């Protein structure tokens, strides 16, 4: 009977329980899949559009800024299936996450309106506000997001 209370076996049993619990948690929340999330594609496009705006501002091409701003304000969103993975992970931080996206929306909209008026100074101020909103979300969520969904 000593076999069953052998501490080594008890440890192995506990370890395998821990491993299967982790595997279960990963399967249910979709953690650590390594596969790029669609959000990354959205971000790559946001990055391109912000770079194009910076270029247009340098040329003082306000019409081009006005045309680009709505692409940033109303950027694409991940499909519902991906949101269903992100939302449970965000938990009680979901409002905060959405809040940063809302800030981008408002600042980019403001930038478009300023550009339509041909108001260079206001356009540049709103551009800075937009970029600050990108940064604020990244500082809060980017690293934990990457760690959770890619395991790195
Ligand atoms: C609501 C939160 C949030 C906002 C707002 C946000 N981002 Fe991101 N961003 C993320 C997260 C989360 C990641 C990590 C995504 C991933 O690696 O799959 C990311 C990643 C990125 C990346 C890296 C993509 C890569 O290939 O690794 C770029 C570039 C980027 N964002 C640009 C922007 C720009 C530009 C804005 C503002 C116009 C912005 N983001 C606004 C959350 C946000």
CB 65 within 8 A of CB 112: yes
Q: How many angstroms does the Cα of residue 111 sit away from the middle of ligand 1?
A: 19
* Residue given tokens 């990354």 in the structure block: 40
- What is the reported pLDDT for 30? 53
Q: What phi-psi label fits residue 76: left (phi over 0), alpha (psi between -120 and 50 degrees) or beta?
A: beta
Q: How confident is the model at residue 22 (pLDDT cuts 50, 70, 90)?
A: very low
Q: Does domain 35-150 have CATH number 1.20.120.10?
A: yes
- Quote the pLDDT of residue 152: 77
Instruction: Write out the two tokens for 126.
Output: 């709103």
Structure confidence by residue, pLDDT tens digits, 25-83: 444 555 555 789 999 999 999 999 999 999 999 999 999 999 999 999 999 999 999 99
Query: What does each C-alpha distance from 89 to 100, 103, 115, 146 come to in angstroms?
Result: 17, 21, 38, 12
pLDDT at 33: 56
| Cα 40 to averaged position of ligand 1 atoms, centre (Å) | 7
Cβ atoms of 115 and 57 within 8 Å: the answer is no
Q: Which atom of ligand 1 is nearest to the CA of 47?
A: 35
Residue nearest ligand 1's atom 18 by CA: 40
Ligand 1 pocket test, pick from 32, 43, 79, 105 with the greatest ligand atom count within 8 Å of Cβ, gives: 43
| Ligand 1 pocket list (CB less than 6 A) | 37, 39-40, 43-44, 46-47, 50, 72, 97, 100-101, 104, 130, 133-134, 137-138, 141-142, 145-146
Give 93-150 pLDDT, tens digit per residue.
999 999 999 999 999 999 999 999 999 999 999 999 999 999 999 999 999 999 999 9
**How far apart, in whole angstroms, are the C-alpha atoms of residue 78 and residue 105?**
16
Q: Which residues are CB-contacts of 86 (< 8 A; sequence separation ≥ 6)?
A: 37, 39, 78
């Amino acid at each position: 009977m000593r076999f069953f209370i052998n501490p080594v076996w008890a440890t192995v049993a506990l370890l395998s329980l821990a491993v299967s619990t982790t595997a279960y948690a990963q399967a249910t929340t979709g953690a650590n899949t390594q596969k790029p999330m669609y959000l990354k594609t959205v971000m790559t496009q946001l990055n391109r559009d912000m770079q194009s705006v910076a270029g247009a501002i340098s040329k003082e091409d306000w019409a081009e800024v006005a045309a680009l701003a709505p692409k940033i304000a109303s950027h694409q969103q991940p499909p519902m299936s991906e949101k269903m993975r992100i939302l449970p992970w965000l938990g009680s931080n979901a409002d905060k996450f959405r809040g940063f996206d809302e800030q981008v929306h408002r600042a980019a909209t403001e930038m478009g309106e300023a550009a339509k008026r041909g108001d260079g100074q206001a356009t540049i101020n709103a551009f800075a506000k937009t970029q600050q909103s990108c940064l604020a979300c990244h500082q809060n969520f980017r690293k934990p997001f990457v760690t959770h969904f890619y395991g790195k």
